[in-house]
Amino acid sequence: MAYYIGVDIGGMSIKAGIVDESGRILVKDSIVPRVEEGQSAITEDMYHLCEKVCAKANMKLDDVTGIGFGSPGTVDTAKGVITFAANLGFYRYNLIKEFGRLWYCKLAVGNDANCAALGETRFGSGQNKKNTLFVTLGTGVGTGFIVDGKILTGHKGAGSEGGHICIRMGGERCSCGEKGCWEAYASATALIRQTQQAIEKNPESMLKTIALRDGEVTGKTAFEAAKLGDPVAEKVVDTYARYVATGIVLLTNVFRPEIVMIGGGVSNAGSALIDRVTRIVNRHCFGSRKVNDVPEIVQASLGNDAGIIGAASLVMD
């Protein structure tokens, strides 16, 4: 059995785990990166975290076949360079070269959503599929495409920014500065905004009761109220599902995956989200009423572990 380390890099926390060749995590741990001390300090932090998970698993460094890293932002996997990751201060940083000085083994780095897509496809909800789409509905909307079993990265790794597809020209302002991006309609942030607006217009709805109980509006508020039969909440959820589905239909028409795996916080709504999205996708994909297969829509199954498992998958070939 070969063993790998997957490192899931985030601005608030870096997670790492020992992953075996069947995609199982043996042990995992995390650290808070020293972002303010710069790129080299973060790289040293990651080295110590990898040592720590090895120790935790009673393994020597030599027992690890390879280490894969999943980073936010733009990553040039071919060169091992994190081109730009705002939260971490990485800018044109050759992580593989720098990490390789501390621990030389098989190393690779990819975009975190792409890694999660690879992990979900190899070991999660997309197993045995060759063309898959992974969508994460969280603070933003992330996407990862697997084409013929490989990550689609685009030129210099700058592709797969599926959150920033324009679904409504001149529409809502997005965090990226543009208008009408999918992310501005289908992220958890957008769902919270849509829920807040519904509460303002309908202060008598169950949405408000739940928000007051929880002390805030979250991505769960509307789904919970809809489940209890609140018509205002049902409308919020239906509209939100339509936004999610619009982006999925768009990407399906271009890229025609066999399966669309939905992850991120909002995906925890489960069938309340998946069933609604499925109905819309089935109806609106190009050619769906004639002969073209419509992709299956499922909830991603690896949850928060997709990052670690996906990063480890990068070095499994």
Residues that bind its own copies (CB under 8 A): 74, 83-84, 91-92, 130-131, 143, 145, 147, 152-162, 164-171, 176-178, 180, 246, 249-251, 253-258, 284, 286-287, 289-293, 295
Q: Say if residues 145 and 157 touch (Cβ distance below 8 Å).
A: no
**Rounded least distance, CB 80 to its own copies, Å:** 16
Report strand pairing: 14-20 vs 25-31: antiparallel
> What would the two tokens of residue 101 be?
């000085």
Q: Say if residues 308 and 30 touch (Cβ distance below 8 Å).
A: no
Our CB check for its own copies shows the closer of 69 and 145 to be 145
Our CB check for its own copies shows the closer of 28 and 284 to be 284
DSSP state letter for 138: S
Our CB check for its own copies shows the closer of 61 and 158 to be 158
Our CB check for its own copies shows the closer of 176 and 228 to be 176
Our CB check for its own copies shows the closer of 196 and 253 to be 253
What letter represents residue 198's amino acid? A
**Rounded least distance, CB 266 to its own copies, Å:** 19
Q: Say if residues 29 and 15 touch (Cβ distance below 8 Å).
A: yes
CA distances from 31 to 42, 119, 309, 312 (A): 10, 22, 17, 18
User: Taking the CA of residue 280 as centre, how many other CA atoms within 13 Å lie in the half-sphere pointing to its CB?
Assistant: 17
DSSP state letter for 124: S
**Rounded least distance, CB 208 to its own copies, Å:** 28
**Rounded least distance, CB 216 to its own copies, Å:** 29
**Rounded least distance, CB 207 to its own copies, Å:** 23
> What would the two tokens of residue 51 be?
């040592």
Our CB check for its own copies shows the closer of 155 and 201 to be 155
- Of 11, 3, 84, nearest in space to 45 by CA: 11
Residue with tokens 């982006």: 247
Residue 40 has phi, psi (to 5 degrees) of -65, -40
**Rounded least distance, CB 183 to its own copies, Å:** 10
Our CB check for its own copies shows the closer of 115 and 146 to be 146
For residue 159, the SS3 value is: coil
**Rounded least distance, CB 242 to its own copies, Å:** 8
Residue with tokens 């000085």: 101
